[in-house]
Amino acid sequence: MTRRIVAVTAGLSQPSSTRLLTDQLTAAVTAQVSARGEAATVEVIEVRELATDLAHLMTTGMASARLDAARELVSSADGLVLVTPVFSASYSGLFKMFVDALSPDALTGMPVIVAATAGTPRHSLVLDFAMRPLLTYLRAVVMPTGVFAATEDFGGGEAGSGLASRVRRAASELAALVVAESGAVAGFAEDEQDREPVRPDRSSGVGLGSVTPFEQLLAGHRG
């Protein structure tokens, strides 16, 4: 069976250390899934390419076809890799805009690796004090190992080997969930006909019908 891994990378430049870390993580996840006897495909969403679409959604409530495609891709994944640069000691505004654009049910039961890049190791707590609470609120299953990479981690040597170890460990944790049960508990959440684990009930939020304009909702209000 082929598992779909989707990576969301919120780097602002090209090339960027955020995309570099994303590629390292997806390569490691693919290798770990293969080591467990299954195949994996990887699709990458560059959030900076959706910046205008996200701003339009936030100000008008209308999503573009390109943004809807990204939202559907995320909710249909077997596992996610989320990577953001750090600004002002937290995830980037662009990263948060993309997460805000997702349906509240898009990540239910989704295995997720959280990762971040910054110029200094002092920002490493962003994983546990910003990203992990955000994903937990959305009912995602966040891997125990988060991956933080400072500029010095990409230079090789002892720092680089430490990053490689963290990448492998996080990838192994994600692959174990994605391959084994896709988040289900063995023997409890299976379809009796095909014996495949039942996926958590997720919704992309796309195609749910027309939205009544706020002005129309308030048309009869005299307060």
Above 50 in pLDDT, residue 183? no
Distance, in Å, from the CA atom of 27 to the CA atom of 181, rounded to the nearest integer, reads: 21
Query: Confidence class of residue 185 from pLDDT cuts 50, 70 and 90?
Result: very low
Q: What is the pLDDT of residues 36-80, one digit of tens each?
A: 999 999 999 999 999 999 999 999 999 999 999 999 999 999 999
In this predicted model, which residue has the larger pLDDT, 209 or 22? 22
Please report the pLDDT score of residue 189 as a whole number: 45
Please report the pLDDT score of residue 184 as a whole number: 45
Lowest-confidence range among 109-113, 178-182, 207-211? 207-211
Alpha helices in the chain (DSSP H): 17-35, 51-60, 65-75, 93-101, 126, 132-137, 157-180, 214-217
Regarding beta strands 79-87 and 90-91, do their DSSP bridges make them parallel or antiparallel, or are they unpaired?
A: antiparallel
Q: What is the pLDDT of residues 107-165, one digit of tens each?
A: 999 999 999 999 999 999 999 999 999 999 999 999 999 999 999 998 766 666 799 99
> What percent of the chain stands above pLDDT 70?
83
Which residue, 96, 92, 94, 101, is CA-closest to 70?
101
Per-domain boundaries in the chain? 2-217
Q: Is domain 2-217 given the CATH code 3.40.50.300 in the classification?
A: no
Please report the pLDDT score of residue 202 as a whole number: 79
Above 60 in pLDDT, residue 97? yes
Query: Confidence class of residue 201 from pLDDT cuts 50, 70 and 90?
Result: confident
In this predicted model, which residue has the larger pLDDT, 4 or 192? 4
Distance, in Å, from the CA atom of 89 to the CA atom of 85, rounded to the nearest integer, reads: 10
Which residue, 162, 196, 156, is CA-closest to 179?
196
Distance, in Å, from the CA atom of 16 to the CA atom of 139, rounded to the nearest integer, reads: 29
Q: What secondary structure letter does DSSP report for 146?
A: -
Please report the pLDDT score of residue 223 as a whole number: 58
Above 70 in pLDDT, residue 186? no
Distance, in Å, from the CA atom of 77 to the CA atom of 207, rounded to the nearest integer, reads: 18
Please report the pLDDT score of residue 212 as a whole number: 60
Please report the pLDDT score of residue 137 as a whole number: 97
Above 50 in pLDDT, residue 221? yes
